[in-house]
Structure 1
Amino acid sequence: MLRNIEDLDCNCKELLNLLSSYDVSMRYEAIDLVNKIYHSNHELHLQLLVILLDRYDNHQIAMNIVDGIMFELLLKSENSNIYPEIVKYLPTGIIKLKSDCGIDYLPLQKLLLAKKFQDADALTHVLLCKLSQKLGNHSRQWLYFTDVVRLPCIDLHTIDQLWQVHSEGLFGLSAQKRIWLSTNSDWEKFWAKIGWKVNNVSCRYPQEFTWDTNAPAGHLPLFNQLRGVQVLAALFDHPAF
């Protein structure tokens, strides 16, 4: 397999340069270029994989939504050389599944990759409770806001990155926090903006929530606002975000 960045074609080099100086304002330009390369020639799929692996191997780089789109497209590639290389070099995906507490995040990665957002939402809460149980020596199946401060940054980053990268940046706690701040921390405006309340009425779980990327930004993962805002406020105040 080609692994030399210098051998990339001109469009792939342009993509690599875009990603090297990436910020959110470049998102759509980079995504358009990924799609242009992917749909132009099956042989170029290997070059997209070279870019992805080069970025994955660089520990200074945080994988972003463009990397996520590349990865998900390559998994569908009709180029027979691609899938074996992904299995070999990216067996657990493009997000390094780090945990300070020995939590296995691969099941969450698989659900998000498959766009099974309702199942991923339920598992996210199970994983947060597992973290809290390990650190707080309890067996509760729910979070108190006082549990949140003990949750490790590394684990929260892993969970958030998985949600972000596999939803094209639509979902995740960091997305929710940005929206909350954009409302001047007004919870009622926040609920409406992320689609947890409609006409000032809380949505009923699960049928009135949207379990795909047609949802408003920040719609997932869910937290029970009927119990108050303390858990979510504590998460937004966590140093991980």
Structure 2
Amino acid sequence: MTNPPTTSDTNIDFSALRLQLTSGSEKVQQQLIHKLATLGNAGLDVLMEFLLQRRFNPPSGADGTAYQILCTADSTSAKEFLQTYFPTGIVPLHSDRAIDYIPLQQLLAVQDFQAADRMTLQKLCELAGSAAVQRKWLYFTEVENFPIPDLQTINTLWVVHSEGKFGFSIQREIWLSQGKNWEKFWTKIGWKNGNSWTRYPNEFTWNLTAPPGHLPLSNQLRGNRVIAGLFSHPAWEKLNT
């Protein structure tokens, strides 16, 4: 069971919180969601209502945070709710090549970002074909043939489950904001400090205290050609989430 509200929380106006949650900006929503997570079963009930109201909308970072809290809550009703309405997760898992993205969604939902990063490369290799799966890394020439729905699915999973902090589209926005200057970009996202590259895995930050765009790593240890291919992919021109 979840922890019950404290005595000082029993007078909280949950109706007002519901209204603020549905009408507020994403920043406000994130703050309220984290607050509701501390308010026992009543708070979880509000989060379930919030997700139910939004289940046919493109998922946001706020949706992802609410989903993560319900996933990790010690609550039978929360688990039953998620199994009923979101059995494969909060993000629709579209794939043109029958790739199973449920394992990636599950890792991101519990914010195991290091394992999710490894899983992301695995899924990109699956998209590239059996040769890439065997070698466990990508040629930049393979990236241009990735289906748009698959790249968007992987990206949306990262964005939604990181409060909008991680993902290929986030990295691309930062890269563009730095005038496509790779050296500035590496520093901005924490992959390089001065002339020193961040060492894998211990020098990377595997949680939300990392700089925006820090993850996923996109095979960066093999240079910038793969990530350049990702950034030039038409998936981002048609991104609607």
TM-score (norm. length: structure 2): 0.83
**Contact 1:172–1:220 (Cα < 8 Å) also in 2:** yes
More displaced stretch, 216-225 vs 184-193: 216-225
In structure 2, the partner of 1:208 is 203
Q: CA deviation at 1:114?
A: 2.1
Q: CA deviation at 1:51?
A: 2.2
Where does 1:1-241 land on structure 2 (aligned, <5 Å)?
Answer: 9-18=15-24, 26-40=25-39, 42-56=41-55, 58=56, 61-77=57-73, 80-133=76-129, 140-241=135-236
- For 2:39 and 2:119, how far apart are their aligned partners in 1? 38
Amino acid at match of 1:181: L
Q: Gaps (5+ residues) in structure 1?
A: 1-7, 19-25
Q: Is contact 1:43-1:79 (8 Å) kept?
A: no
Normalised to the residue count of structure 1, the TM-score between the two structures is: 0.83
In 2, the alpha carbon distance for the partners of 1:138 and 1:89 equals 33
CA drift at 1:34: 2.6
Task: For 1:79 and 1:144, locate their aligned partners in 2 and report how far apart those are by CA, in whole Å.
Answer: 45
| Structure 2 unpaired stretches of 5+ | 1-13, 237-241
Kindly tell me: are residues 115 and 34 of structure 1, through their superposed partners in 2, closer, same or farther at Cα, counting changes over 3 Å?
closer
Instruction: Tell me the alpha carbon deviations over residues 162-217 of structure 1, each in whole angstroms, 9 at most, x when there is no partner.
Output: 11111111111111111111111100000111111112211222122122222111
The one-letter code matched in structure 1 to 2:90 is I
SS at match of 1:96: coil
Q: 1:142 Cα deviation (Å)?
A: 2.2
Query: After superposition, what is the alpha-carbon deviation per residue over 1:38-78, rounded to whole angstroms, capped at 9, x for unaligned?
Result: 4446335323212202211x2xx210100011112223446
Change (3 A) 1:74 1:224: closer
Aligned pair in 2 of structure 1 residues 124, 77: CA closer, same or farther (>3 Å)? closer
Deviation digits for residues 109-155 of structure 1 (CA, Å, limit 9, x no counterpart): 11112222111111111110110106x99955322222111101111
State how many pairs are aligned.
223
SS in 1 for 2:31: helix
**Distance change (3 Å), C-alpha of 1:163 and 1:230:** same
Contact 1:52 1:67 in 2 (8 A): yes
Alignment-mate amino acid for residue 52 of structure 1: L
Contact 1:223 1:232 in 2 (8 A): yes
Q: State the SS of the aligned residue for 2:164.
A: coil
Q: Structure 1 CA distance, aligned partners of 2:37 and 2:132?
A: 49
Instruction: Report SS of the residue matched to 1:240.
Output: helix
CA distance 1:93–1:222, change in 2 (3 Å): same
Moved more, 37-46 or 212-221: 37-46
RMSD: 2.3
